[in-house]
Structure 1
Amino acid sequence: MLINKKNKSLNVNLMLSFIVFSMLLNSMSIIILQLSQNAQHTYTGLGILEFFKDIPVALVSIFLVDYIKRKSFYLSLAIALFICAVCSFSIPFLTEFWFLKIWFVLIGISFSIGKICVFSIIKNTTSNEKDFSVTMSRTEAAFMLGIFIVNMEFAIILSSNYQEFWRFGFWLVGFISLWTAIQLIKYHKTQPSEETISNTTSKIDFRVLTDKKVLFFLSLISLIIFAEQIFNSWLPIFYKNSLNSSAFFALQSSAFLAFFSFLGRIITSKAVKRFSPMKIFYTSLISGIILIISAYFLGQENGLGVKILLFIFPLIGFFIAPLYPMLNSKFLANYHERKISRMVSFIILFTSLGGSIGSISTAYIFQKNLANYYLLFASIPLILILILSSFFSIKEKMY
């Protein structure tokens, strides 16, 4: 009973960690929405911010993974959260655009450390593939919950009489970061011996990328994050510019996209106990493609079609969100505990590249006044995933 209580408490802290990372990483849509009103900032210029978040994530995940493995995963995660707290409390006082670049670099580094730690802790504390998949889906669901919270919080702030103080909204993230970091340090002190690994340093083995199964998996993961980034960072801009909604409603669209994504991952975490993860994967993927293409044709109509689109489009999150945790858990469940942090570092590398390319590409579409093709563009990576998975047969390769 005591072990179960400890595991539940630990899972809550892991979920809170992902909520923190999610709120900071996905504040990109809020920052783009606010700064795009300033003539000094172009869409492509704002889209470059994604690189300052994702490229450090990619590099740190590769070169720090051995250092993290030699230390406590709990302690490393706590340090990452402390960095997030410092970033959250400082942003209201440092408003220059150059600081945002540094800010996203620090958040990206923290996230890469945190993700390696969280995935490794989950692997170390689960005994089989289904438990791993369930815990992974719930933790990833918390990530979507963080997007919902941050967008709703800032939507309320920006629609109030205190909208000029919107940067202080990050203090909520700061307090959650501090509290979670303290809890993880306490947990670390109770069982430090379980987390330390020998001081031997392994070389970065890029030969793993020559494995067709690994490369195929990483390519699909990149495309999934490419698709998610199109929505998470740029959906409010699409709502405001193409559907003529207010800033409040634009941020609410992103919030409800995250809310339905959260529901999708929570329901998936329960469904995986009865159905194959890959059946859920294919069902979600095909449903998502159908909904996006349907939304595109609705958007071509005036009046009622656009109004329907305003309300049904966030449902896309319900179908897209399960793709990443389903594919991740199916692949990582077969990895040994000692090797999983290295594979997670490659996952972070490829997802970072996918996210950056997705954001820059979407920025270019809005910069060139091609927003009418936003939905068709968003369907491309999902269609590519379906084509690739049909050719290579994920189910056979992942077993």
Structure 2
Amino acid sequence: MKNWQIKTSLYLNYFVFAILLNSVGIVISKSINVYGVTEGNASILEAFKDLPIAIVSFFIASFLPKFGYKKAMMIGLGIVFFGCLGMYFGNSFLSAKLLFLSIGVSFALIKLCVYSLIGEITDTQKEHTALMSSIEGFFMVGIASAYFLFPFFYSQTDTNQWLNVYLFLCVFIFISFLFLAFSDLKTSAEVSQSSALEDLKASFQLIILPLVLIFVGSAFFFVMIEQGIMTWLPRFNQKIFSFSEKLSVQMASILAISLAIGRFLAGWLTKKISWSSIVIACSIISIIILFWVLPQLKITGDVKVIESLSEVPFLGFVLPLIGLFIAPIYPLLNSAVLSSLPKKLHAAMSGLIIIFSALGGTIGSRIVGTLFENLDGVKAFYFLTIPIGLLILFVLRIKSIINKQKTSS
């Protein structure tokens, strides 16, 4: 298989960070239950994760090709290794903030490298779309693993037992570091003749392009949707469905599995159907699911906690299946825009993708968390239909611009 060493490294590193990055919903739930913080205050963990992603991406995106993708990923793994150790020994809400700070900084490095390297190791738009979708799908497999990995360390008698998951993750990170250290990640993108100032100017110039401007808005809205659901679904399950803490996390894994399947299917479907048709259809179906499920959910005074899978109501299984339909949106949008730009601009464009995705995740989670605290989980999830509707309008505009570019070239 062509470039198999590079591709395997990308998959493995993305898998590690999928577990870490998207454990934020689990840690938010633990912070509320163990450290006694409110929903609104707990949602700040999303900002500790996403804002460093945005800031680091802004400053290093154009410089990264010169620094080297391999070195950047190894540094990222090293930073998050010590972040996990800090969480294990610190055992506090402050430690959780520092953990997600380290995850955010590290993931910015990893994601910039992954997105830039995809453009380097593929030759056509279809190859780019297929690899992007499969890597993002594998990312969702990592997220699903987190929903089983964390509850495995839960204990009814010891509230600190769950912290052992971070020692396990340290071992996994170390293995990933060794694998990367012995992998060959040399690409043409690591050698550039332009100066750092010229690279930075290219990044700023990108934002004024109509295609890029509309796309970053789309990325912002999508991540607001995805993180709003993914971060708060464990808490939603516990508060609305009265699932136990462990079952709430395990049931949230259905969302991650649905997202993984949806992204793998997207890579196959784009060979037969245009990317924009898939994105628009999936967005409409997602709105339909929310408007069908949410009105049927009633908050009652019943305090009976559901402990087993056999007691889970039908709607408890249906809501997470929205992941099948929101899954293809992000990789297809990213691939459509990246593959329409010259490869020399992919690192800078990747930086913009990550910056606006991070901002969307932070704002979306913060809004949903605040709505959770002041209203209820059902009304909080209704809010997500607004960015989905806006996303459809933006996708139609992106399609129009790309088609014009093709006809003029």
1:272 aligns with 2:270: yes
Q: Aligned partners of 2:37, 2:91: CA distance in 1, in Å? A: 14
Does the 8 A contact of 2:80 with 2:103 survive in 1?
yes
One of 195, 199, 220 as aligned partner of 1:200: 195
| Matched position secondary structure for 1:158 | coil
User: How far 1:300 moved relative to its partner?
Assistant: 4.2
User: How far 1:239 moved relative to its partner?
Assistant: 0.7
Amino acid at match of 2:147: N
User: How far 1:266 moved relative to its partner?
Assistant: 0.8
Change (3 A) 1:127 1:39: closer
1:42 aligns with 2:38: yes
Does the 8 A contact of 1:78 with 1:182 survive in 2?
no
User: How far 1:10 moved relative to its partner?
Assistant: 2.5
One of 52, 56, 63 as aligned partner of 1:60: 56
Q: Aligned partners of 1:121, 1:335: CA distance in 2, in Å? A: 14
User: How far 1:193 moved relative to its partner?
Assistant: 6.9
- State percent identity of aligned pairs: 28
Q: Aligned partners of 1:124, 1:372: CA distance in 2, in Å? A: 44
Comparing 66-75 with 313-322, which one deviates more in the overlay? 66-75
| Matched position secondary structure for 2:63 | helix
Comparing 191-200 with 234-243, which one deviates more in the overlay? 191-200
One of 75, 83, 89 as aligned partner of 2:79: 83
**In structure 2, what is the equivalent of residue 244 of structure 1?**
242
**In structure 2, what is the equivalent of residue 359 of structure 1?**
365
One of 367, 371, 375 as aligned partner of 1:369: 375
Comparing 73-82 with 345-354, which one deviates more in the overlay? 73-82
User: How far 1:9 moved relative to its partner?
Assistant: 3.5
Q: Aligned partners of 1:363, 1:268: CA distance in 2, in Å? A: 30
Change (3 A) 1:193 1:364: closer
User: C-alpha offsets along residues 150-196 of structure 1, whole Å, 9 cap, x if unaligned?
Assistant: 111112322666653111112333223222222222224x7477633
Does the 8 A contact of 2:83 with 2:98 survive in 1?
no
Q: Aligned partners of 2:37, 2:158: CA distance in 1, in Å? A: 23
| Matched position secondary structure for 1:197 | coil
Amino acid at match of 2:331: P
**In structure 2, what is the equivalent of residue 320 of structure 1?**
326
One of 387, 395, 398 as aligned partner of 2:399: 395
Q: Aligned partners of 1:192, 1:131: CA distance in 2, in Å? A: 17
| Matched position secondary structure for 1:296 | helix
TM-score normalised per structure 1: 0.91
Change (3 A) 1:246 1:130: same
User: C-alpha offsets along residues 237-262 of structure 1, whole Å, 9 cap, x if unaligned?
Assistant: 11101111111221012211000110
Q: Aligned partners of 2:267, 2:221: CA distance in 1, in Å? A: 22
Amino acid at match of 2:143: I
User: C-alpha offsets along residues 116-148 of structure 1, whole Å, 9 cap, x if unaligned?
Assistant: 101111110001100000000011111111110
Does the 8 A contact of 1:137 with 1:325 survive in 2?
yes
User: C-alpha offsets along residues 21-66 of structure 1, whole Å, 9 cap, x if unaligned?
Assistant: 1111111111111111247411111111211111111111011123
Q: Aligned partners of 2:35, 2:246: CA distance in 1, in Å? A: 21
1:233 aligns with 2:234: no
User: How far 1:97 moved relative to its partner?
Assistant: 2.3
1:284 aligns with 2:288: no
**In structure 2, what is the equivalent of residue 382 of structure 1?**
388
Amino acid at match of 1:112: A
Q: Aligned partners of 2:335, 2:385: CA distance in 1, in Å? A: 24
Comparing 32-41 with 248-257, which one deviates more in the overlay? 32-41
Q: Aligned partners of 2:286, 2:147: CA distance in 1, in Å? A: 22
Q: Aligned partners of 2:187, 2:395: CA distance in 1, in Å? A: 42
Does the 8 A contact of 1:70 with 1:199 survive in 2?
no
User: C-alpha offsets along residues 351-397 of structure 1, whole Å, 9 cap, x if unaligned?
Assistant: 1110010011011011113223133112221122124445x3x3222
User: How far 1:331 moved relative to its partner?
Assistant: 0.6
| Matched position secondary structure for 1:206 | helix
**In structure 2, what is the equivalent of residue 116 of structure 1?**
112
Q: What's the Cα RMSD here?
A: 2.2
Q: Aligned partners of 1:363, 1:57: CA distance in 2, in Å? A: 20
Does the 8 A contact of 1:137 with 1:265 survive in 2?
yes
TM-score normalised per structure 2: 0.89
Does the 8 A contact of 2:86 with 2:99 survive in 1?
no
Does the 8 A contact of 2:238 with 2:245 survive in 1?
yes
User: How far 1:301 moved relative to its partner?
Assistant: 9.2
Structure 1: segments with no counterpart, 5+ residues = none
